[in-house]
């Protein structure tokens, strides 16, 4: 496992859609709040990582730019070509990643990992002292770990949580965004929102399958009235044809934004050969009469 406190580069093939994705999520966020001002906080759900958290104000949560990592970055500072995690931390980015070495909610193994691996690695990388603070959050064992520099200055902030699949949150400092992400973190298998999120995820899988099949009839049939109005049959067929080159690829539904009324899913169309590049896309769903329906999508055109 490549841990979050080790320098990693942005996954370059996804950057072509980052600006579109960022604009869509900003728009969706404003749209959500205007529709449901008293609803849920905007959540980011990682289907691949098994966690969810509240998205800090004026931040974007993106699970496709760096493989296996959810980046939570300021709306005004999206990732750029060639940046490492260390670069992003300096801009206020928070990074979240499952701890691959740990499974099955084992507190003893969790704390052994924190002391013997995370603390030790931070000490070696930053060549200084560390500060370990064990704690408990929502019945889960947690630990805050900081790499310290001169005069006790924090050089890296880490927050680990022993969920069904343990998770690590990392940032350059104990910022408000870091605290929001870490302290609102929930285990996807145990959250009270699980049933509704599962339904949104299943609806997204069904839509992804229809995209692969280029089934324009069923896509429109199971869509919102707003989608049908703005996306005629002819226009939908044309849109799917322009993306046909990669629609047949395996689709990984990484996660998405969720507020109880909308789910904006982030997809990766995986490369099948070494000559191909992975392609990202987004699908927006709206809950209508307790049923999740297609409300929009954005695909790359090759």
Q: Where are the domains of the chain?
A: 12-187, 194-298
Res 195: pLDDT: 97
Higher pLDDT, 44 or 20: 44
Query: pLDDT tens digits, residue range 179-228?
Result: 999 999 999 999 999 999 999 999 999 999 999 999 999 999 999 999 99
User: Which parts of 75-166 are beta strand (E)?
Assistant: 94-98, 130-137, 140-148, 154-161
Residue 1 clears pLDDT 50, i.e. is over it: no
Q: Report the greatest alpha carbon distance in the chain.
A: 65
List helix spans (H) across the chain. Answer: 18-35, 85-90, 107-113, 119-126, 176-183, 194-213, 216-221, 225-230, 233-242, 244-247
**In this structure, CATH architecture of domain 194-298:** Roll (3.10)
The model carries a pTM of 0.87
Distance of CA 92 to the CA centre of its chain: 16
Judged against a pLDDT cut of 90, whether residue 163 lies above it is answered with yes
Residue 51 bridge partners (DSSP): 46, 187
| Model pLDDT for residues 222-250, shown as the tens digit of each residue | 999 999 999 999 999 999 998 888 888 99
Looking at residue 252, what is its pLDDT? Answer: 92
What tokens appear for 185 in the block? 């973190």
Rounded to whole angstroms, the Cα distance separating 147 from 157 reads: 7
| CATH 3.40.1000.10 for domain 12-187 | yes
pLDDT-derived band at 41, boundaries 50, 70, 90: confident
């Amino acid at each position: 496992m490549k841990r979050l406190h080790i320098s990693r580069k942005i996954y370059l093939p996804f950057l072509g859609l980052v600006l579109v994705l960022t604009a869509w999520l900003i728009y969706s966020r404003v749209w959500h709040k205007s529709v449901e001002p008293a609803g849920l906080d905007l959540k980011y759900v990682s289907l691949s990582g098994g966690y969810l958290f509240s998205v800090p104000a004026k931040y974007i949560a993106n699970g496709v730019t760096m493989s296996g990592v959810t980046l939570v970055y300021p709306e005004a500072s999206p990732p750029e070509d060639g940046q490492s995690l260390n670069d992003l931390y300096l801009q206020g980015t928070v990074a979240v990643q499952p701890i691959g070495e740990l499974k099955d909610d084992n507190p003893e193994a969790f704390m052994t990992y924190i002391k013997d691996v995370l603390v030790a690695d931070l000490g070696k990388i930053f060549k200084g002292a560390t500060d370990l603070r064990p704690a408990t959050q929502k019945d889960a064992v947690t630990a805050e770990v900081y790499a310290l520099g001169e005069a006790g200055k924090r050089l890296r902030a880490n927050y680990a949580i022993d969920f069904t699949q343990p998770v690590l949150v990392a940032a350059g400092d104990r910022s408000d965004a870091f605290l929001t992400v870490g302290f609102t973190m929930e285990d996807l298998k145990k959250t009270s929102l699980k049933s509704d999120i599962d339904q949104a995820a299943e609806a997204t899988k069904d839509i992804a399958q229809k995209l692969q099949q280029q089934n324009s009839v069923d896509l429109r049939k199971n869509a919102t009235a707003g989608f049908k109005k703005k996306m005629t049959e002819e226009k939908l067929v044309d849109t799917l044809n322009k993306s046909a080159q990669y629609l047949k690829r395996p689709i990984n539904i990484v996660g998405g934004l969720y507020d109880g009324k909308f789910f904006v899913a982030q997809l990766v169309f995986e490369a099948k050969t070494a000559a191909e590049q992975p392609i990202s896309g987004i699908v927006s769903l709206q809950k209508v009469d307790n049923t999740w329906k297609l409300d929009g999508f954005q695909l790359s055109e090759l």
